[in-house]
């Protein structure tokens, strides 16, 4: 390969690692995602930096943990003075594109659950406003006909085809296109025209929008357009192709709605599988039995077995819909003559409990169902397919891509290149640090939850800010994390050792950039 490689980076939203055929799922059909693994290295032990959309996406771009890059929880803005690895690629001559969901700025009109504490302050926040425009993903930018003139570069991206929100009624450039191309588009967005169905799963909605007008198809079409535009260009490209599915609501379009039956699925970890549920798990159970509902549409919930199986079937439909779209993009890449010089990656921004312990969606408890995500790296120079058990993190993606191109990371990046682990044998990290910061107080917490976790091959320990309880799981003997050993007398020594190691990671969350310009 004489030229610098192109990158085609696919990412889905809220897809746990074990929900692909190549990761061993017995039912969901993902032949095109699987085909990427046949040509590359599949990571068995890849985890997110934070199991929530916005913070982890910013960690992917910066190679830094949320505590450092500033987008600490959903609803924050990703500071526009932050550098990203996409900036580095662009500065080196790459053409950079983001197609689909970005979610680096809030894209909903809704205000936070608790915007302020009601106290009067002459100065509200610790930081002065930076005067930047953080509304490019807001709905009002796309209210007019035509196409909103997106201001670039956008965190390093020179080309942006924006999709905001989730489900069949996403916004952004897609919504502007949808209004122009869908006959009687308002009727397709009218709840009264939902196709009848028998599902009782929360947020199950049978959309009347046909497959060809659904956001997943639009993202594939725009990606194909982009690949065709770049095929005669000398400069390499980095294309970030981001699908909003299979994130809830559960609304696979057309044939994908009933492609799978709830009867095909089983709960591997039913509600009683956890031997000593933690306080938030207990709260979810009590709330379920009291018919308490959700605090927000994105808040984790306890559901019935039938509802969970329905959610699994509909999630499988959305995943296969995305898989078919990826298949079209991969065929276009081949037809454009660029496949032999393009590295293809597949990833997800976080997982979903999706039935484990009777839970749905994601929350503060960092079970592997929401922290472990698929990651596949397919480099045309790689001769044989590999599977690696090397532990890796979202923050490693940016550094590894720069390493592959021969570019030096900027100061302050915390990621480590995993390229040497692509052989399937060389280890990478010995342990992973994961953090989560909640927006509102929920799931029984009096204040917004703050979680920090350390995971290695043998253990997972989790500390919750201000709480007198925590989590300790023996992953060798209890890989499903069903027995919390935090209070076990026999495990106090290992708990102390892990807490010390966790403290070292916490100390490391100091920004090493910028360096001092002169002696004090």
What's the predicted TM-score (pTM) here?
Answer: 0.97
Alpha-carbon span 57 to 373, nearest angstrom = 13
Tell me the average pLDDT across 243-263: 98
pLDDT of 119 = 82
pLDDT of 107 = 85
Which residues is 346 bridged to in the sheet? 10, 376
Determine the straight-line distance between the first and last CA of the chain, rounded to whole angstroms: 48
Alpha-carbon span 8 to 333, nearest angstrom = 9
User: What are the structural domains, with CATH classification, of the chain?
Assistant: 6-108+135-426 (3.40.720.10)
Tell me the average pLDDT across 80-100: 97
Specify the range with the lowest mean pLDDT, choosing from 8-17, 117-126, 136-145, 176-185.
Answer: 117-126
At 344 the three-state DSSP class reads strand
Mean of all residue pLDDT scores within the chain: 96
Give the position of tokens 């909003």: 244
pLDDT tens readout for residues 362-392? 999 999 999 999 999 999 999 899 999 999 9
Confidence of residue 1 (pLDDT cuts 50, 70, 90): very low
Both tokens assigned to 268: 């591997």
288, 303, 285: which is closest to 248 by C-alpha? 303
Residue 248, number of CB atoms within 10 A of its CB = 24
Residue 109 has pLDDT above 80, yes or no: no
Distances (CA, A) of 447 to 75, 97, 288: 17, 39, 21
At 302 the three-state DSSP class reads strand
Tell me the average pLDDT across 487-516: 96
Burial class (CB in 10 A: 0-12, 13-18, 19+), 485: buried
DSSP letter (8 states) at residue 252: -
Q: Which long-range contacts (CB under 8 A, 24 or more apart) does 415-421 make?
A: 415/63, 415/64, 418/43, 418/390, 418/392, 421/41, 421/388, 421/390, 421/392
CA angle, 413 as apex, 102 and 415 as ends, to 5°? 85
**Residues listed for the chain:** 520
pLDDT of 517 = 83
Confidence of residue 302 (pLDDT cuts 50, 70, 90): very high
DSSP 442-480: -TT-SS--EEEEEEESSEEEEEETT-S-EEEEETTT-TT
Maximum distance among all alpha carbons in the chain? 71
Residue 152 has pLDDT above 90, yes or no: yes
Contact 151, 102 (CB under 8 A): no
Residue 113 has pLDDT above 70, yes or no: no
Percent of the residues in the chain that have a pLDDT greater than 90, as a whole number: 91
pLDDT tens readout for residues 319-344? 999 999 999 999 999 999 999 999 99
pLDDT of 453 = 98
Q: Which residues have C-beta within 8 Å of that of residue 32, sequence separation ≥ 6? A: 323, 324, 326, 327, 330
Contact 83, 91 (CB under 8 A): no
């Amino acid at each position: 390969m004489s030229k610098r490689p192109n990158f085609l980076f696919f990412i889905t939203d809220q897809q746990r690692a074990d929900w692909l055929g190549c990761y061993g799922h017995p039912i969901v059909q993902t032949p095109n995602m699987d085909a990427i693994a046949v040509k590359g290295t599949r990571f068995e032990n890849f985890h997110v930096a934070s199991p929530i959309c916005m913070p982890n996406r910013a960690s992917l771009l910066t190679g830094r943990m949320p505590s450092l890059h500033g987008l600490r929880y959903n609803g924050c803005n990703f500071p526009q003075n932050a550098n990203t690895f996409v900036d580095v690629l662009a500065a080196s001559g790459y053409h950079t594109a983001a197609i689909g969901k970005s979610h680096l700025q809030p894209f909903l009109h809704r205000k936070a659950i608790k915007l302020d504490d009601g106290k009067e302050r002459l100065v509200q926040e610790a930081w002065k406003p930076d005067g930047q425009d953080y509304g490019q993903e807001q709905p009002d930018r796309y209210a007019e006909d035509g196409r909103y003139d997106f201001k670039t570069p956008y965190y390093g991206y020179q080309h942006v085809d924006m999709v905001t929100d989730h489900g069949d009624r996403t916004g952004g450039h897609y919504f502007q296109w949808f209004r122009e191309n869908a006959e009687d588009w308002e009727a397709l967005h009218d709840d009264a025209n939902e196709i009848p169905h028998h599902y009782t799963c929360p947020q199950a909605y049978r959309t009347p929008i046909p497959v060809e007008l659904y956001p997943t198809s639009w993202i594939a079409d725009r990606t194909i357009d982009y690949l065709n535009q770049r095929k005669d260009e000398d400069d390499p490209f980095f294309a970030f192709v981001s699908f909003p599915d299979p994130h809830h609501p559960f609304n696979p379009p057309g044939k994908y709605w009933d492609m799978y039956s709830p009867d095909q699925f089983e709960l591997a970890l039913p509600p009683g599988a956890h031997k000593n549920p933690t306080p938030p798990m207990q709260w979810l159970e009590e709330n379920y039995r009291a018919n308490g509902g959700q605090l927000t549409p994105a808040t984790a919930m306890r559901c019935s077995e039938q509802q969970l199986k329905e959610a699994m079937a509909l999630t499988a439909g959305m995943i296969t819909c995305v898989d078919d779209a990826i298949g079209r993009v991969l065929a276009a890449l081949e037809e454009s003559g660029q496949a032999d010089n393009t590295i293809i990656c597949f990833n997800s921004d976080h997982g979903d409990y999706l039935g484990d312990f009777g839970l749905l969606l994601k929350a503060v408890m960092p079970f592997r169902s929401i922290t472990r995500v698929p990651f596949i790296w397919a480099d045309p120079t790689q001769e044989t397919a590999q599977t690696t058990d090397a532990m890796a993190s979202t923050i490693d993606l940016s550094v590894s891509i720069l390493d592959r191109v021969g570019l030096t990371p900027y100061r302050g990046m915390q990621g480590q290149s995993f390229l040497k682990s692509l052989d399937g044998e060389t280890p990478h990290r010995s342990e992973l640090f994961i953090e989560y910061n909640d927006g509102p107080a929920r799931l029984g917490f009096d204040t917004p939850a703050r979680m920090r976790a350390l995971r290695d091959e043998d253990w997972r320990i989790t500390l919750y800010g201000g709480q007198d309880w925590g989590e300790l799981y023996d992953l060798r003997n209890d890989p499903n994390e069903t027995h919390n050993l935090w209070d076990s007398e026999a495990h106090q020594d290992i708990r102390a050792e892990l807490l010390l190691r966790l403290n070292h990671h916490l100390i490391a969350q100091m920004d090493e950039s910028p360096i001092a310009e002169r002696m004090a």
